[in-house]
Amino acid sequence: MKTKNTRFQECVKLLQPNLRYKVQDNIIVFTPNSNLEGDNKKYTRFYNLIAKLYDFGSWVFFRFYGGEKRAREEFLEKVKVKSKDKVLEVSIGTGINIQILPSGASYFGVDISHGMLSKCLKNFRHSKKQLYLLQTEAENLPFKDNTFDIVFHVGGVNFFNNKKKAIEEMVRVAKPGVYITIVDETDNFFDTFKWIPFVKKFFKTGQATKPPIKLLPSNTKNIEVKELIKGNYWRLSFQKS
């Protein structure tokens, strides 16, 4: 990855005007951890804590389901990246999903955890992919309307302060006609790991883990829900009108 500040100019062109931000550790920071509230603050602390071990834990988990690459390809089955596309991943984490997507596009990743974004930078330090990382809340994406050719999110929508607003933001920044993919865990996933103390403390079950179809804004269509990875995940895909 290029790391000079001049490399951020392509990203800055896509931002809404008059926003205040700083560049810290090659990450564009809009939301310092000290400004977070509610679940966003809670789960930022959690992901900052596990950032260094996240990739290993993910690799171990997916070994029981045919391997991580296979699982993530299933998550992103509807994410068809073409050369020169602008691709946004909301809650990019350590960037594992971007790693399996093709080069030639411009990738943008947002997350509220500086720890996860820092690990993502390390994962891509030798990559030729064009990747821009921003620390911000999913409920307040800093991008202009109708910016991205692809928008997707994997594994965290249940933790957002305001799930409805976050989904509306994903739709807002997508270009008309774009398909949006959202993936998250089911109760089956949590039942498997509920014996672990931190799982009970940090993870939600019940209605919180259902695909948020009722929260989709009116300017969406072609809605599809599918269970994945032996019922441990659901994938919600829909198109912006």
Q: In angstroms, rounded to a whole number, what is the distance separating the alpha carbons of residues 189 and 187?
A: 5
- What confidence tier does 2 reach under pLDDT thresholds 50, 70, 90? very low
Q: In angstroms, rounded to a whole number, what is the distance separating the alpha carbons of residues 186 and 213?
A: 14
Task: Give CATH superfamily name and number for 5-240.
Answer: Vaccinia Virus protein VP39 (3.40.50.150)
- What confidence tier does 1 reach under pLDDT thresholds 50, 70, 90? very low
E strand spans, 58-194: 86-90, 106-111, 130-135, 150-154, 179-185
- What confidence tier does 3 reach under pLDDT thresholds 50, 70, 90? very low
- What confidence tier does 190 reach under pLDDT thresholds 50, 70, 90? confident
Per-residue pLDDT at 33 = 73
Type of residue numbered 65 = Y
pLDDT digit string, tens, across residues 70-105: 999 999 999 999 999 999 999 999 999 999 999 999
pTM of the model: 0.92
Three-class DSSP category at 150: strand
What is the residue extent of each domain of the chain? Answer: 5-240
E strand spans, the chain: 22-24, 27-29, 86-90, 106-111, 130-135, 150-154, 179-185, 220-228, 233-240
What does the chain come to in residues? 241
Between 192 and 228, the more confident residue is: 228
Identify the burial level of 160 via C-beta atoms within 10 angstroms of its C-beta, where 0-12 means exposed, 13-18 middle and 19 or more buried.
buried
> Crossing angle for the helix pair 38-63 and 68-75, nearest 10 degrees?
130
Given a cut of 90, whether residue 187 has pLDDT beyond it is no
Between 31 and 197, the more confident residue is: 31
- What confidence tier does 32 reach under pLDDT thresholds 50, 70, 90? confident
Mean of the pLDDT values across residues 181-202?
A: 76
Given a cut of 80, whether residue 194 has pLDDT beyond it is no
Evaluate whether 166 touches 160 at the Cβ level (below 8 Å).
yes
Residue with tokens 């307040």: 140
Mean of the pLDDT values across residues 28-44?
A: 84
